[in-house]
Amino acid sequence: MIRIKTILCPVDFSDASRNAVRYAKEFAKNMHASVYLLNIIEPRPMAVDISLNYVPVEEELEKAASDDLREILQELAGEGVKAECGVEIGTPSDVILETIDKLDVNLVIMGSHGKKGLSRLIMGSVAETVVRKANCPVLTVKAEEKEFIVDE
């Protein structure tokens, strides 16, 4: 018997990750699992405001992401899905892999942008790295693909 207790769903607010949230919701409802939504902010250089005080861009991004994740949490809760969320700063694939271990995740459901060619070589693929290195199953969801979830 397959027992899924914790589903990790990285969210970057793209169409692909929003579809991944839909999949995570359905898996969680059917398996009586909880969902952990994770947004990762890549570190950026410091920004300077007019008064020459240094304001970390990450703080602003973290607050915006937290607000957006809370909206998704409310939607999941409204459908009876137990969910939590977090925002981390770091390299996306590293943070996802660390979170898998930290939360003892049984399944990762994440969006994949499907980059190909030079763009993939230059930027890498977070989903590909997670699929290769994760110690649990990983379901990748694209923005536009044949879906097997039917809205009733």
Report whether 8 contacts 99 (CB < 8 A). Answer: yes
Tokens of 94: 């590293």
Distance separating alpha carbons of residues 133 and 53, to the nearest angstrom: 40
pLDDT in tens, the chain (152 residues): 788 999 999 999 999 999 999 999 999 999 999 999 999 998 865 555 555 455 567 788 889 999 999 999 999 999 999 999 999 999 999 999 999 999 999 999 999 875 555 544 444 589 999 999 999 999 999 877 666 656 65
Distance separating alpha carbons of residues 142 and 130, to the nearest angstrom: 15
CB-based contacts of 105: which residues, under 8 Å, 6+ apart? 6, 7, 8, 36, 99, 136
Domains and CATH numbers, the chain: 6-141 (3.40.50.620)
Bridge partners of residue 89, in order along the sequence: 41
110 backbone dihedrals φ, ψ, rounded to 5°: -140, 155
